[in-house]
Amino acid sequence: MTQTTDKTLALDVHGGDHGPSVLVPAALDALKADPALNVILVGRPDEIAPFFDEADALFGQRVRIEEATEVIASDARPRAILRAGPDTSLFRALQLVKEGKAAACVSAGNTVALMTLGVKLLGVLPGVRRPALMSQFPTSGGTIGMLDLGANLNVDAQQLAQFALMGAEVLRAAHPDRPASVGLLNVGHEDGKGHSVVREAHELLKTSDLDYRGFIEGHDIFEGKVDLAVCDGFAGNLVLKSSEGLAAMLFNEFRSTLMSSWRSRLGAWLAKPALKAMVERLDPAKHNGAPLVGLNGVVVKSHGRSGRLASTQAILEAGQEARHHVPERIEAVIEKHERETAA
Amino acid sequence: MTQTTDKTLALDVHGGDHGPSVLVPAALDALKADPALNVILVGRPDEIAPFFDEADALFGQRVRIEEATEVIASDARPRAILRAGPDTSLFRALQLVKEGKAAACVSAGNTVALMTLGVKLLGVLPGVRRPALMSQFPTSGGTIGMLDLGANLNVDAQQLAQFALMGAEVLRAAHPDRPASVGLLNVGHEDGKGHSVVREAHELLKTSDLDYRGFIEGHDIFEGKVDLAVCDGFAGNLVLKSSEGLAAMLFNEFRSTLMSSWRSRLGAWLAKPALKAMVERLDPAKHNGAPLVGLNGVVVKSHGRSGRLASTQAILEAGQEARHHVPERIEAVIEKHERETAA
């Protein structure tokens, strides 16, 4: 089987908390789940090898190792990140995309490093002011996309409007039949609410081609009021992480409550099949894989703590985005928007 | 029984979604729960009367009506708010505090109106740059205070540092034996993370008298890592409302899951006593009552949708703050900090 570029991903096996012991098996799961996918495992061959022998036999040329002996630390400072070279697994994985040997890069490592080196090696799409980090969350009715989640702490109105255009295109690429409705996060629904940046972005979005529904508030996110929620990276990061923390707390409270007495333990046993289905539907692992939108290439951030299931999900997400040519689609949307607003 | 000022609250009975039918019974519950409290019900006598006859007999002079025939709409624009006069229930309730006839004002109405008229009528404490909206959330181990939750959308470092000082003093007033640990919300824990405003506030807080624990991230809020989380009002408002929305979604999913089959319904019945205790502990109603800290007077915002239990909680919270002379304590803390930093 010949590897064609738009089916091949470069996986940084040293990013995140778990490394090759989790990421190599996750890659093999992804190869099983998506027969059109190929994976290049980028990292230290001796650390990959223990998990790779079996893969070699099962998947033939669909998986191979690319040597990179160094690792960018999860707490690396910007200066250290900029000094990183092709001997680091993340740099090499991105370089494979740049060289056209892979169509996407996946890493669970340092987000700042992924963004910094992504910009440095792949560059930003024409017309895009700043790339943004996007993710999806489960809602009461389905899922919602949200960006930016931390790549841009200070934004202007033009950037927020671009985040909306780019995020909506990511959703449309995955669901071409469904127009993506967009909301701009604010402290109130009414025109005139919020600071000048969101108010100005609101006016820009009103005149865009998007299915723009106006301002939304925090509680609208999980009510599934729109398909895409847009905000600056500072607020978005706090919402993302506080939501993860709250969900973890509630599930823990719930678990320990059910284990607190003989009677409730029996109740839990009876309710288990139903509860398991619920937990699976809401499992954040199912929604892992946050694209850095606006880069000239598919780059997907996996959660640092991701286990095997979540890592597989991020790899499959990257595979989908590469196949849907998301960067090319974003480039076209931004170019069209720039042309229309200039006219 | 003579009313003494620091025991008397002015309650805007027309604020919020429910009005006198919920707020008058809630006030009576508060009078029962706190025998040292007096309440002035501010609003339309004919709408209060149906819920007041009984109160009159039971509580004698501890409760009385102050007539105000107009109501500030929940969606009132700033200009309309500034035009409001003493014939509106909120204005009159705040005026009673200004006149020294009440020690605190409670309203479930328009937050912007509460802040705008609070500043206009009561003024801001000496040295305080801007008042902030504070609230408490349940965490895995107890509760956490957080501010600002929406009063200040653009802040500078000095303001964030003041929010920390004021919020910590609110907690200390309620728990004099427990020093309040403080964290500054940011997108990472390390020095150098975040935008310039949080980095500068971080340096200011390091040199303060507070038990300052440095930057915290969104997930630290519900893990109860600190007693007080500080951030700007834009991000804080999104965190507050997204958390409310997520908790509501998870409880709904959970409820419908448990009702989904005969087997899980039986399990739910068995686990009910344990689950009820958990839900009660985490019930947002138990934590209702958000003080506007920094005003020259106790002003407490109750959630617009508050039912009877939550409304009672907000009234009791205001009573506690008045009794603990929270504004005077904040004034002293700010004055001390200004003196020390000027030296």
| pLDDT exceeds 80 at position B7 | yes
Say which DSSP state A176 is in: T
Find the helix or strand (DSSP H, E) in which B120 lies. Answer: helix B111-122
Tens-place pLDDT, residues A146-194: 999 998 999 999 999 999 999 999 999 998 888 899 999 999 998 888 9
The tens digit of pLDDT for each residue in B91-126 reads: 999 999 999 999 999 999 988 899 999 999 999 999
Cβ contact B239–A240 (<8 Å): no
Looking at residue A3, what is its pLDDT?
43
Query: Residues A286-299: what's their mean pLDDT?
Result: 93
A178: exposed, middle or buried (Cβ count in 10 Å: 0-12, 13-18, 19+) = exposed
- For B160-213, the pLDDT digits (tens) are 999 999 999 999 999 888 889 999 999 999 888 899 999 999 999 999 999 999
pTM score:
0.90
With CA atoms as reference, report the closest residue to A137 among A150, A154, A149, A129.
Answer: A149
In degrees and rounded to multiples of 5, residue A141 shows phi and psi of: -105, -15
pLDDT-derived band at A52, boundaries 50, 70, 90: confident
- Alpha carbon A95 to its chain centroid, in Å, reads 19
A77-87 pLDDT per residue, tens: 888 898 988 99
A1-128+294-324 and A129-250+278-289 have identical folds: yes
B231 chain-A contacts, CB cut-off 8 A: 238
Is B3's pLDDT higher than 60?
no
How far is the C-alpha of A182 from the C-alpha of A205, rounded, in Å? Answer: 9
pLDDT, residue A5, reads 58
Q: pLDDT class for B239, splitting at 50, 70, 90? A: very high
> Taking CB atoms and an 8 Å limit, are A150 and B187 in contact across chains?
yes
Judged by a CB distance cut-off of 8 A, whether residue B223 touches chain A is yes
DSSP string, B50-102: GGTHHHHHHHGGGEEEEE--B---TT--HHHHHH--TTBHHHHHHHHHHTTS-
Q: Does B254 touch chain A (CB under 8 A)?
A: yes
Give the Cα separation of A45 and B37 in Å (integer): 73
CA separation for the pair A202, A204 (Å, rounded)? 5
pLDDT, position B1: 35
Quick check: helix, strand or coil at residue A149?
Answer: coil
Residue B210 vs residues B182, B192, B231, B327: alpha-carbon distances, Å: 7, 21, 16, 18
Angle, in degrees to the nearest 10, between helices A308-323 and A20-33: 50
Beta-carbon separation of A234 and B274 below 8 A: no
B111 half-sphere exposure, CB direction, 13 A CA radius = 23
How is domain A129-250+278-289 classified at the CATH fold level?
Isopropylmalate Dehydrogenase (3.40.718)
Residues of B in contact with A261 (CB under 8 A): 273-274
Pick the CATH number of B129-287 from 3.90.15.10, 3.40.50.12170, 3.40.50.2300, 3.40.718.10: 3.40.718.10
Residue A136 token pair: 């999806």
C-alpha distance from B183 to closest chain A C-alpha (Å): 13
Residue to mutate among A219, A258, A265, with most B CBs inside 10 A, is A219
pLDDT at B299 over 80: yes
Closest CA to B152 of B74, B230, B234: B234
**Partner B, chain A 185-204, Cβ-Cβ below 8 Å:** 185, 187, 190, 192, 194-195
Query: For residue A241, what pLDDT is reported?
Result: 93
Assess A250–B contact: CB distance below 8 Å, yes or no: yes
For residues B12 and B107, the answer to whether their CB atoms sit within 8 Å is yes
Among A154, A234, A263, pick the best mutation site for testing chain B contact (most B Cβ within 10 A). A234
Q: Residue A194: list chain B partners with CB under 8 A.
A: 153, 234
Share of chain B above pLDDT 70, in %: 97
Contact B275 A257 (CB under 8 A): yes
Of A115, A153, A130, the C-alpha closest to A233 is: A153
Q: How far apart, in whole angstroms, are the C-alpha atoms of residue A257 and residue B179?
A: 30
Residue A288 has pLDDT above 80, yes or no: yes
**Would you call B270 and A273 a contact, using CB atoms and an 8 Å cutoff?**
no
Contact indicator for B307, B22 with CB cutoff of 8 Å? yes
Least confident among A161-170, B58-67, B232-241, B279-288: B279-288
Closest-CA residue in chain B for A185? Answer: B238
Residues of B within 8 A of A273 (CB-CB) are: 261, 263-264
Evaluate if residue B229 carries a pLDDT over 60: yes
> Cβ contact (<8 Å) for A195 and B234?
yes
Chain A residues touching residue B261 (CB < 8 angstroms): 273-274
Residues 46-75 of A with CB under 8 A from B: 75
Nearest residue of chain B to residue A225 (CA atoms): B245
Q: For residues A106 and A201, what is the distance between their CA atoms, to the nearest angstrom?
A: 31
Query: Is B80 touching A (CB cutoff 8 A)?
Result: no
Q: What is the pLDDT of residue B279?
A: 81
Supply angle C-alpha B133, A229, A301, rounded to 5.
Answer: 105
The reported pLDDT for the residue numbered B56 is 65
- Check residue A280 and give its pLDDT: 80
**Residue type for A325, please?**
H
What pLDDT was estimated at residue A1?
35
Residue A15 clears pLDDT 80, i.e. is over it: yes
Residues 126-145 of B with CB under 8 A from A: 139-140
Are A267 and B263 in contact (CB < 8 Å)? no
Distance (Å, whole) CA A19 – CA A13? 6
- Judged by CB atoms closer than 8 Å, whether chains meet at A270 and B270 is answered as yes
Residue A242 has its nearest CB partner, among B218, B233, B275, at B218
Q: What's the rounded Cα separation, in Å, for the pair B3 and B36? A: 10
CATH architecture label of A1-128+294-324: 3-Layer(aba) Sandwich (3.40)
Enter the tokens of residue A45: 């061959």
Assess whether pLDDT exceeds 80 at residue A53.
no
Of A192, A253, A274, the CB nearest to B278: A253
Mutation target to probe the A interface, by most A beta carbons within 10 A, among B187, B215, B301 is: B187
Mean of pLDDT values over A213-231: 95
Tell me what pLDDT residue A55 has. 63
Residues of chain B with Cβ-Cβ distance to A274 below 8 Å are 257-258, 260-261, 263-264, 267
pLDDT(B257) > 60: yes
C-alpha triplet B118, B119, B121: angle, nearest 5°: 65
Q: Give the confidence band of A104 by pLDDT, cuts at 50, 70, 90.
A: very high
Question: Per-residue pLDDT for B298 more than 80?
Answer: yes
Mark yes or no for CB contact B75/A190 under 8 Å.
Answer: yes
Extents of the domains making up chain B: 1-124+294-322, 129-287
The answer to whether A272 faces chain B, any CB pair under 8 Å, is: yes
Residue A339: DSSP 8-state = H
Residue B284 corresponds to which tokens in the numbers above? 């947002």
Q: Give the distance, in angstroms, between the CA of residue B279 and the centroid of all CA atoms in the same chain.
A: 21
Q: Does the domain formed by B1-124+294-322 have CATH 3.40.718.10?
A: yes
B140: tokens are 């895995």
Per-residue pLDDT band for B5 (boundaries 50, 70, 90) equals low
| Residue B81: C-alpha distances to residues A314, B118, B149 (Å) | 50, 11, 20
